[in-house]
Structure 1
Amino acid sequence: MATTTALTTEDLSDVVRWQARAEAYAIGRMVDYRDAEMARTALIESSLRRKIERSAIALTIGEATGMSEAQIHLRLSVADRVREKTPLVWASFVDGLIDFNRVRDISATIEKLHRDESIARLESRVIGYATSHTAAELHQWLRRFVQRVEADLAVERAETERADRRVTVTHGDDSMSWLNAYLPSHQAAAIEARLRKEARTSVEPDDDRTVAQREADLLAAWCIDSEAVTSAVDANIAVTVGADVLAGATPGFAESTDGDWAVPASWLAEVIASGSTFWHRIVVDPVTDDVLAHEYVGRFAPDSLALALQFLHGVCQAPGCRVPSERCDLDHRIPHPVGPTTGDNMGPLCRRHHNLKGHGLLHWSTSPPKPPPEPIVIEIYPPATDFVMEYVAA
């Protein structure tokens, strides 16, 4: 009777490892062929003939492997860079521990690094991460590595790319076109979040459009119809940034919590200064992750603070007014930006009394702000190194 052996996860891992080894072997043979051809053509006396034959090396390899010249050039350049700069990474590839996709991403990272010590640090750390994480996780890790190890140069590259921001329109068939925008990541993320939120809220019962169609229609309306953008749409976006970066002591990046994008921290400082966004700054203990402080930077109160103030006061804070707080505006007693967005400096005012206060006709409320408490100094060891910040993009 024939017997069968059940497939195990170890068998699957072996298959993947063999495949990686095969990739490494194939690329190694491509390099060997290229090097042999370079040596052979070096003996050709005619410089024109030598140039022509060398230009055909990638084409010849591509014909033998079924790949394009661009694919061959990519593999050869990756092999040259990784073998020279990070030989341990190449050895891991040859041994089947990492595949070509991971090696290609590592090669692209090496190309961005300009300091030998940074490349050495990458080699010492990347193999362990690459062998235990997915390709997508490795891609994010490599981007963060560049931003943290050579933050000054990464910020320069970001500023250069920012200068190239643009919008392009490509007209296609069937009366449709593509609208493409090359924007700073935090702006694109705010647009994306705003589209997603509004496309899923305030939908009429007879609206049979898909979410994607509503998003497209909204974007078109925002660009064409000025009345479509008269009111702000909240979009919650969270980023993390180092305390030293936030203080301006060192260059660095603010990174989205999902790791998909990061921008120089100074770009977000510009957003804060514009007054069009709202930030939460949460100071977190680096050891226990306990929240040490929650500060608000911006004009508009977040939902949590707004709800707390509604519950606290119940009604409009103008003398004798009984309008329920949920129907009131949240007013800064000391106007923003001089006055902070805090519970002590904010309270509900109905629209009428809010307008009177704005025109200088209402000078006090039933709950005047308390004097600030004496500061409490808390020493933390080790010192906190990260802030978690969230802003609501209007």
Structure 2
Amino acid sequence: FLEESARLSGDLPLTLAALGAGTISWQHVRILCDETDGLDPAAAAAFEAHFLDPNVPGYARGCPAGELTPARFRAKARYWRERHHPVSIAKRHAKSVKDRRLEYVSDRDGMAWFSAYLPADQAAGIWNRTTAAARAMQGPTETRTLTQLRVDAFATWLLSPVPGVGGAAEDPPAEKVPADAVPA
């Protein structure tokens, strides 16, 4: 909140004015902060003007930013940013690949979040594979939801012994793992 507020008051004057006038919501502000992150000041100003200043050439016609749902506004903002970013997508992707990482965050009730920041093609492949395994596990007697089945398949794969490391010849198929057998 403090970081977004500092950016808003220092780097995004049109956004601050629109928020003050009530033409955009705090969610829209957060999207503008997210999508201008990493842009040089001139590119950020052009981005901001495109969505918030009706007097600039190339203003976003149709529906004003504040009248779009935040999800729709994020899609439009991201599309415009990708098309007008001063650095090519190939260069930005190469830099981002170097920033890949895993994160672990403890949560309440004995739970935790496990996140991976990785290339989109890999993330989509993991999502599709866990979804396919979860769907294969569904059946008339299965009580877990598709979401729960995805997590169980994912955890099983990651916690199963790895050939050469844990000694197993191969991972068990996810569809053969009952709900109470997911490794702790």
Q: Which interval holds the TM-score relative to the shorter structure?
A: 0.5 to 0.7
5+ residue gaps, structure 2, are 53-59, 162-169, 174-184
User: Offset of 1:76 from its aligned partner?
Assistant: 3.7
Q: Which amino acid aligns with 2:87?
A: D
- 1:209 maps to what in 2? 144
The answer to whether the aligner puts 1:122 opposite 2:47 as a matched pair is yes
- 1:380 maps to what in 2? none
State how far apart, in whole Å, the 1-side matches of 2:48 and 2:105 are. 42
User: Offset of 1:120 from its aligned partner?
Assistant: 5.0
- 1:105 maps to what in 2? 31
Spell out the pairing of 1:350-365 with structure 2 (5 A cutoff): none
CA contact (8 A) 2:25 2:66 kept: no
What SS does the corresponding residue of 1:201 show, helix, strand or coil?
A: helix
User: Offset of 1:179 from its aligned partner?
Assistant: 3.8
More helix by share: 2
In the superposition, the TM-score normalised over structure 2's length comes to 0.63
1:152–1:228 CA distance, 2 compared to 1 (3 A): farther
* Count of residues paired in the alignment: 155
State how far apart, in whole Å, the 2-side matches of 1:90 and 1:180 are. 32
Of 141, 156, 167, 2:102 maps to 167
User: Offset of 1:126 from its aligned partner?
Assistant: 0.8
What SS does the corresponding residue of 1:112 show, helix, strand or coil?
A: coil
5+ residue gaps, structure 1, are 1-70, 230-394
Q: Which amino acid aligns with 1:122?
A: F
- 1:79 maps to what in 2? 9
State how far apart, in whole Å, the 1-side matches of 2:106 and 2:124 are. 25
1:94–1:168 CA distance, 2 compared to 1 (3 A): closer
State how far apart, in whole Å, the 2-side matches of 1:197 and 1:140 are. 27
- 1:95 maps to what in 2? 21
CA contact (8 A) 2:35 2:78 kept: yes
Give 1 or 2 for the bigger CA radius of gyration.
1
State how far apart, in whole Å, the 2-side matches of 1:192 and 1:141 are. 24
Spell out the pairing of 1:1-394 with structure 2 (5 A cutoff): 71-72=1-2, 74-83=4-13, 87=14, 89-114=15-40, 116=42, 118-127=43-52, 128=60, 129-150=64-85, 152-168=87-103, 178-223=113-158, 224=160, 226-228=170-172
User: Offset of 1:111 from its aligned partner?
Assistant: 3.9
CA contact (8 A) 2:103 2:115 kept: yes
User: Offset of 1:150 from its aligned partner?
Assistant: 1.4
State how far apart, in whole Å, the 2-side matches of 1:91 and 1:99 are. 12
State how far apart, in whole Å, the 1-side matches of 2:48 and 2:33 are. 11
CA contact (8 A) 2:97 2:118 kept: yes
* Percent of residue pairs identical: 25
State how far apart, in whole Å, the 2-side matches of 1:109 and 1:170 are. 25
In the superposition, the TM-score normalised over structure 1's length comes to 0.33
1:215–1:73 CA distance, 2 compared to 1 (3 A): closer
State how far apart, in whole Å, the 2-side matches of 1:138 and 1:202 are. 37
1:204–1:73 CA distance, 2 compared to 1 (3 A): closer
Q: Which amino acid aligns with 1:126?
A: F
What SS does the corresponding residue of 1:181 show, helix, strand or coil?
A: strand
State how far apart, in whole Å, the 2-side matches of 1:76 and 1:103 are. 12
State how far apart, in whole Å, the 1-side matches of 2:38 and 2:47 are. 12
- After superposition, the C-alpha distances for 1:137-157 in whole angstroms (9 at most, x for unaligned) are 222222222221116355434
Q: Which amino acid aligns with 1:98?
A: I
State how far apart, in whole Å, the 1-side matches of 2:145 and 2:28 are. 37
- 1:385 maps to what in 2? none
State how far apart, in whole Å, the 1-side matches of 2:20 and 2:172 are. 57
